[in-house]
Amino acid sequence: MNKIRIGTRGSELALYQANKTLKALNSLGFEGEIVVIKTSGDKIKNKPLIQFGGKGLFVKEIQESLLNRTIDIAVHSLKDYPIENPDELTLGSILEREDVRDAIVLKRENQLKCLSENSKVGTGSFRRKYQLKLLKPNWEILPLRGNVGTRIRKVEEGKYDAVILASAGLKRLKKEENIKGYFEVSEMVPAVGQGAIAIEAKKDNHEVLEILKKIESGKARKEIDAERNFLRRLGGSCTTPLGVNATIKGDTIKICAYLSSFDNDKWIKDEIEGNLEDAIELSNKLFESFAIKGARGLVQN
């Protein structure tokens, strides 16, 4: 191929991810061109995405460009990448994963001790909101929208005492100075695919798919496959109050999951650990334990 056209959103983080993909392709001797596409999710700025279809709104127009062959590959934050996608498309590659934890973001000059029992904390995620209520029941949890820079600015301006963001995005954008603490996976289970970059392509574009295999992280792929298998079995979406995280250490994989009803009336949390070669089977077993506890009913409520 003369030049691989890379479709992406135009946010600072999305462009970082597209440029990371471009550098990986360059390292193999391929040229690339970044094509910025404005998505429905980018146009809806001040209202909860759940009212309009959830995080899938961040991929719809980019996928249409893939189908129309105006781009060759699409780069997404994997946690925004739906389970159900057009039949003609496939997840061709997953790049090396960043820190999966959620981070506590404060003003640069503040420390965690500045947070009181009644702090105003922002998040746009039901998954984070409901787990925060378990950890910090007296915090006032407020809705939050905007890109990483906008959310940090709202803290600096004093509109929130703190906001909760994925540490991966903060680290990729060199904004670690605002990170004042982390929630470990055992405290706040991350979103499916958090910290990973998805590269999508057409199933019939065999040349591109062969190239994408060469830049994939095998470890990240195995972790993501286990997480997305759980999500697929559950039948949830990107807006479901769900956290699933798979972590590989050596030949062992540990999978943690958390699920709440949409009204936070009921919740389930559990984990499983075993041999890496049994990753999908372990994911199935963890889901089955959730199903016995009424998981499908929580998704439907």
Domains defined for the chain, CATH in brackets: 4-95+196-216 (3.40.190.10), 102-183 (3.40.190.10), 234-300 (3.30.160.40)
Residue 49 has pLDDT above 60, yes or no: no
Dihedral of alpha carbons 53, 56, 62, 67, sign: negative
- Per-residue model confidence (pLDDT) at position 57: 73
How many other β-carbons are positioned within 10 Å of the β-carbon of residue 179? 17
How far apart CA 192 and CA 47 sit, in angstroms, is 23
Does pLDDT of 215 surpass 50?
A: yes
- CA-wise closest residue to 84 among 203, 298, 235: 235
Q: Which of 42, 72, 80, 225 does the annotation list as catalytic?
A: 80
**Phi/psi of residue 259, each to 5°?**
-140, 135
In angstroms, the CA 74 to CA 36 distance is: 10
Per-residue pLDDT, averaged over 190-212, amounts to: 97
pLDDT band at residue 146 using 50, 70 and 90 as cut-offs: confident
- The DSSP bridge pattern shows strands 4-8 and 73-77 to be parallel
Asked whether residue 43 carries a pLDDT value surpassing 90, the answer given is: no
pLDDT for position 45:
55
Q: How far apart are CA 108 and CA 293, in angstroms?
A: 43
pLDDT class of 38 with cuts at 50, 70, 90: confident
CA 19 to chain CA mean position, Å: 18
> Is the model's pTM score more than 0.85?
yes
Question: Is residue 80 annotated as part of the catalytic site, yes or no?
Answer: yes
pLDDT at 238: 64
CA distance 150 to 270: 34
What's the DSSP call for residue 190?
P
Cβ-in-10-Å burial (0-12, 13-18, 19+) of 249 comes to exposed
